């Protein structure tokens, strides 16, 4: 049996974890991409890798934001339910003293709701800033 010879380049690629991928793309796009990479003095493979990593990072950030936003949304739903219940109680109460206490509680819950909404805005702004950084990281760089 004849042993299959492995080229040194193939051995190095395997050790480095490199593979060859083939995609069908429009000629015009690939030529424009090659020209843009040449103008920026970056390798096409390096730029494609950077864009892939940027896309992966953005998807991870979006997933994390969605999970966090969902949690805040659940809290807001609960807070709204509490407000609704307190308002229903207010309709049924005869005592002025008790009405005042319930109204105070409603105001306190509204403060909680406002804080949650402000927190939600800060979280959104934070993740938006990260998305902008990921997009900036996907721009061509000087490294090949």
Domain 44-135 has CATH 2.70.50: no
Which CA distances in Å does 99 have to 5, 65, 106, 108? 88, 40, 10, 14
pTM across the whole model: 0.54
Contact 117, 76 (CB under 8 A): yes
**47: exposed, middle or buried (Cβ count in 10 Å: 0-12, 13-18, 19+):** buried
* 22-75 pLDDT, tens digit each: 989 999 999 999 999 999 999 999 999 988 988 888 888 778 777 777 777 788
Q: What pLDDT, in 10s, does the model give residues 90-103? A: 888 888 999 899 89
128 DSSP 8-state letter? H
Q: Measure Cα distances from 70 to 60, 73, 101, 118 in Å.
A: 15, 5, 32, 15
pLDDT given for residue 47 in this prediction: 92
């Amino acid at each position: 049996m004849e042993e299959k010879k492995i080229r040194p380049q193939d051995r190095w690629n395997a050790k480095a974890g490199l593979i060859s991928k083939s995609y069908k793309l429009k000629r015009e796009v690939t030529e424009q991409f090659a020209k843009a990479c040449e103008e920026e003095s970056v390798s096409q493979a390096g730029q494609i890798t950077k864009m892939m990593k940027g896309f992966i990072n953005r998807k991870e950030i979006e997933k994390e934001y969605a999970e966090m936003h969902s949690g805040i949304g659940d809290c807001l739903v609960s807070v709204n339910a509490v407000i609704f219940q307190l308002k229903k109680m207010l309709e049924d109460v005869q005592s002025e003293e008790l009405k005042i206490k319930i109204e105070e509680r409603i105001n306190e819950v509204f403060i909680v709701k406002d804080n949650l909404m402000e927190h939600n805005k800060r979280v959104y702004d934070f993740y938006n800033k990260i998305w902008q950084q990921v997009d900036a990281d996907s721009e061509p760089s000087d490294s090949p």
